[in-house]
Amino acid sequence: MSATKKKIFIVVMDGLGDRGCKELNGLTPLQATDTPNLDWFTKNGIAGTCDTVDIGIRPGSDTSHLSILGYDPLEVYTGRGPFEAAGIGLIGKYGDVAFRCNFSTCDSDLNITDRRAGRIDKPDTTELVKALSGMTIDGVEVIIKEGTEHRAALILRGKGLSPDVTDVDSHDLGPLNKAKGKTKEAEFTANVINKFVKESYKRLKDHPVNKRRVKEGLLPANIIVPRGAGDFPNIQPFPEKYDLKAACVAGVGMIKGICAICGLDVIDLPPSCTGGYNSDFIAKAKVAMETLKTYDFILMNVKAPDVCGHDRDPIRKCEVVKRLDQMAGYIKDNFRDDLVIVFTADHSTPCSLGDHSGDPVPIAVYTPGNVMDEAVKFSESGCSRGRIGRIRGKYIVQMCMDLAERTEKFGA
């Protein structure tokens, strides 16, 4: 066995898979676009198709990235709450309970008069959140962070917490609900969250930001209203599970959040990496290649193809594919021989659908000295000629670990 352990670089081209598009004569954007660099990796490597979660399952970005990182979301996924919290940078851990929240407007009897406080946004919310920081209720630490517009996320951290509590948010105007425990053990958590809601009103009602807003004819955000409790998944941190120093290179909050929950370091990106369709892919790849000098594993996410799928824009998706191929060219030109590289997607986002689908995605894996199979074109159809066959996403890391000469022999 060689002593040269290789590094692993997974390039997730978000929502890249597609179905036949009328505008492309029944071809997919990948089928319709010339991709010499992606094809080079496919031709010189191994290829296949991948159901990130399982056959026919339409994955979210959270469940699919968990899979690509080697976790089975059918086992570890605990719902949107904790991943949305992580998405705005509030990274909890097992035992924490996360809530989605609104900044709302209420009267002095705590009757809601506007659920979104007039769609308040940063920097006001950032100021208001400061007034709520460092709070402890019945021994439970309360951590809150603002999101986009009126949205925020909340984490309770302490002993004896449970996510089995009903929403304070009545999803309507008028009186708030009182959070209730769905189980006996959850009553403590319900009690803490009810106390927090009252305390938020106490701290926010006369806050200078709100006084200014009222003066300006804007609605004050004088209460925080939580909903959608969920606990953080109990997962073994990725670096420990695989003995890899691991990082994520991504522009989108939710992807960074998922990776952070899994224990990956989140690498800062230059402002040209926007996460939008016009993001600078090569700049992002440069950051990833640079980071690989000191890390063993990188998951890089490029969001742009998904955006085109949601926008039902196959022509723009083809342009994005062309630029992704240029990015692949940059990686090829700067390739390090101690690298196992994976090109794949987290799910398909067919332009005809405008949303994620359960169609399997193409995958190509290249490392010098591996087998060359019969797949030559990086596309939904072309990759299916390869020897990877049809696999589930949760096997990708394990397969790469073996190619990276990092696995233990099972047996003698």
Question: CA 384, 390, 392, 397 torsion: positive or negative?
Answer: negative
| 172 versus 402: smaller Cβ distance to its own copies | 402
| 23 versus 280: smaller Cβ distance to its own copies | 23
Question: CB of residue 286 vs its own copies: minimum separation in angstroms?
Answer: 29
Of 241-280, binders to its own copies (CB under 8 A) are 254
Find the binder of its own copies among 33, 35, 49, 210 (CB under 8 A): 49
For residue 114, the surrounding DSSP H or E stretch is: strand 111-114
Torsions phi, psi of 334, nearest 5?
-115, 25
Sole window of 107-115, 122-130, 143-151, 399-407 interacting with its own copies (rule: CB under 8 A):
399-407
| 177 versus 407: smaller Cβ distance to its own copies | 407
Pairing of strands 7-13, 297-302: parallel
64 counts as binding its own copies under rule CB under 8 A: yes
Question: CB of residue 21 vs its own copies: minimum separation in angstroms?
Answer: 8
Question: CB of residue 239 vs its own copies: minimum separation in angstroms?
Answer: 18
**CB-based contacts of 198: which residues, under 8 Å, 6+ apart?**
110
| 280 versus 405: smaller Cβ distance to its own copies | 405
Distance CA 101, CA 61 (A): 21
56 counts as binding its own copies under rule CB under 8 A: yes
Q: Cβ distance 106 to 112 under 8 Å? A: yes
373 counts as binding its own copies under rule CB under 8 A: yes
Read off the tokens for 344.
Answer: 């794949």
Distance CA 111, CA 129 (A): 21
Sole window of 123-131, 261-269, 290-298, 394-402 interacting with its own copies (rule: CB under 8 A):
394-402
Sole window of 119-127, 288-296, 334-342, 371-379 interacting with its own copies (rule: CB under 8 A):
371-379
| 120 versus 248: smaller Cβ distance to its own copies | 248
| 182 versus 385: smaller Cβ distance to its own copies | 385
| 54 versus 265: smaller Cβ distance to its own copies | 54
Question: CA 186, 191, 194, 199 torsion: positive or negative?
Answer: negative
Query: Partners of 175 in the beta sheet?
Result: 111
388 counts as binding its own copies under rule CB under 8 A: yes
Distance CA 369, CA 372 (A): 9
Distance CA 308, CA 395 (A): 28
DSSP secondary structure letters along 273-304: --SSTT--HHHHHHHHHHHTTT-SEEEEEE-H
Distance CA 247, CA 295 (A): 7
Of 299-338, binders to its own copies (CB under 8 A) are none
107 counts as binding its own copies under rule CB under 8 A: no
| 143 versus 340: smaller Cβ distance to its own copies | 340
Question: CB of residue 345 vs its own copies: minimum separation in angstroms?
Answer: 13
Question: CB of residue 379 vs its own copies: minimum separation in angstroms?
Answer: 9
Please give the size of the binding site for its own copies, defined by CB under 8 A: 72
Closest CA to 11 of 301, 211, 292: 301
